[in-house]
Amino acid sequence: MSGTASGDRQHQTYARFQAQLKIAIRGLITPALVAEHRDHPQARHSDALARVVNFFRRPPRYGLYSAVPLRQWQLIRLPIVPGAPPAPLDGPHYNSEAEAIHAVFLRHLADLQAQ
């Protein structure tokens, strides 16, 4: 068996796994789950919310830039390529870190629903 055929099969298996995982994660998302994150974005999460948040840690990822340290936050897209700079996203600046963290969560959620 050639290395290319094995690599292709690995890629296909990983793609299938990713597709199934996205379906499973979408099934966990409910209005109550979103409200749980909105109300306590930095607290210990329920199992379902912990799974969703962990999934959102995969690329592409978003983060926060504190334009005014500890007073104002802006969403950024984190680079996939090492050494590339993060890209600020157009949109509001947040005056609460918790509100900004929830905005990141909502951005990931919108991307997941669009796929």
CA distances to 4, 41, 46, 79, 94 from 54, in Å: 31, 13, 12, 18, 23
Range of the domain at 24: 3-114
Residue among 95, 46, 101, 41 at smallest CA distance from 70: 95
At residue 96, does pLDDT exceed 80? yes
pTM for this prediction: 0.85
Residues 6+ apart with CB under 8 A from 114: none
SS3 for 19-35 is HHHHHHHHHHCCHHHHH
Mean pLDDT for the chain? 91
Residue-wise pLDDT tens digits, 43-82:
999 999 999 999 999 888 999 999 889 899 999 999 988 8
Residues 6+ apart with CB under 8 A from 23: none
Crossing angle for the helix pair 47-55 and 31-39, to the nearest 10 degrees = 80
